[in-house]
Amino acid sequence: MALVFDITGEYAMFRKFYTTTSSASYPFPPPTAVGGLIAAIIGVENKSENKAHLASYWESLYGNRIAISILSPTQWFTTSINLWNNKDPKKGIHNIIKHQFVKRPKYRIYVEGPIEERLKPFLEEGRFVFTPYLGTAYSFANIHYIGSFNPLKIEDDEARIKSIIPADIKPKINLKKTHGIFKDIVPLQMDTERGLTKSLSVFYPANIDTGIFVDNPEEIGGVLVGNDEIVWLPEWSRKPSG
C-alpha cells in the first residue's frame, strides 16, 4: 500500500544546499525535507539534546521511499530577514540575509514502506507530535490526508507523470506534449549526523497541470496511486549507492 497526503502553507523555504550567502529555495520540498516532516508527524526525536547537529530520526526512515508532486503554480516571494549574529557579534549585531520563499505552496506526498503503519493513524486523526513545517520553523505546514492506495503498475505506452522524476532512470520525455521541464539537483538523504550521503538529479514539470508525458512508464517503474501517475524516488537506504 501507499499513503498519500497533501501539505500546504502560507510560505515555504527549502534552501538549496549549494547556495552560500543568500537562501535560494527549491520550488518543492526535497526528499530530505519530506523525511524530516514524516519524522515530526510521528514524533521520532533527533536526539539533539546530546549533540546539536544530530538527526537520529533517519534510522526510522531507512527502507522507505516517497514521491513528490507539485500541486500549485510556483509563486516566488523574496525578502530580507534580520538575523542575530551570534557567531561574531563584534563584526555587527545583525546579519541581513536575503530569503527566497514559495508563496502559498501545495504539494502531494506519497509514502511506501514499513513506516506506513506508524504514520497512518496520525494522518487519519489529523494530529502530530512535533510541529510540521515547510523548510523553516516560521513556515508552518497544514496536512490533509488523502488516503491509502494499492499502487498499480502502469502498463500503457504513455503516461502523464505528476511527480518529480529521477533523471538517472532515463525517462523518455515527450517534450511536445509536456511543454517544458526543469531539472535540478536535490539532496536525497542524510545520515544520523545530518551529513548529506546522496543527492539526486530530478526533472519536474514547468506546467503542473500538464505534468510530464513519458513514453516508457513501465521501464521507469511508473505506478498509479489513487488517480495519480507517479514515479518513486530511490529508497532511503542505510548504505546508499553512488
7-39 pLDDT, tens digit each: 999 999 998 877 666 678 999 999 999 999 999
CA distance to 58, 79, 111, per residue, from 76 (Å): 30, 10, 27
- Among 41-50, 156-165, 184-193, name the most confident range: 156-165
- Element (H or E) spanning 41, and its range? helix 31-42
The whole-number pLDDT of residue 57 equals 87
Mean pLDDT throughout 205-230? Answer: 94
The mean pLDDT of 215-232, rounded to a whole number, is 95
Q: What is the pLDDT of residues 94-120, one digit of tens each?
A: 666 777 889 999 999 999 999 999 999
CA end-to-end span of the chain, whole Å? 28
Q: What is the pLDDT of residue 86?
A: 63
Task: Return the sign of the alpha-carbon dihedral for residues 109, 110, 116, 120.
Answer: positive
Indicate the Cα dihedral angle 28, 29, 31, 33, nearest 10°: 170
Judge whether 152 and 112 are in contact, CB under 8 Å.
no
Please say whether the beta carbons of 34 and 108 come within 8 A.
no
pLDDT score recorded for residue 91: 62
The mean of the pLDDT values for the chain is 89
> How far is it, in rounded angstroms, from Cα 6 to Cα 108?
4
pLDDT for 161 beyond 70: yes
pLDDT band at 169 (very low <50, low <70, confident <90, very high): very high
pLDDT of residue 174: 95
Cβ neighbors of 72 (< 8 A, separation 6 or more) are 8, 104, 105, 106, 208
The fold adopted by the segment(s) 2-86+94-230 is Alpha-Beta Plaits (3.30.70)
Classify residue 189 by its DSSP letter.
E
Among 47-56, 84-93, 183-192, name the one with the lowest average pLDDT: 84-93
| Alpha-carbon distances, residue 31 vs 22, 28, 206 (angstroms) | 21, 9, 19
Strands 76-84 and 94-103: antiparallel
Q: What is the pLDDT of residues 53-100, one digit of tens each?
A: 678 888 899 999 999 999 999 999 887 676 666 666 666 666 667 778
pTM here is: 0.90
Give the rounded percent of residues in the chain with a pLDDT score beyond 90: 69
Q: Quick one: residue 194, left, alpha or beta (phi over 0 = left, psi -120 to 50 = alpha)?
A: left
Write the Ramachandran bin of 113: left for phi over 0, alpha for psi from -120 to 50, otherwise beta: left
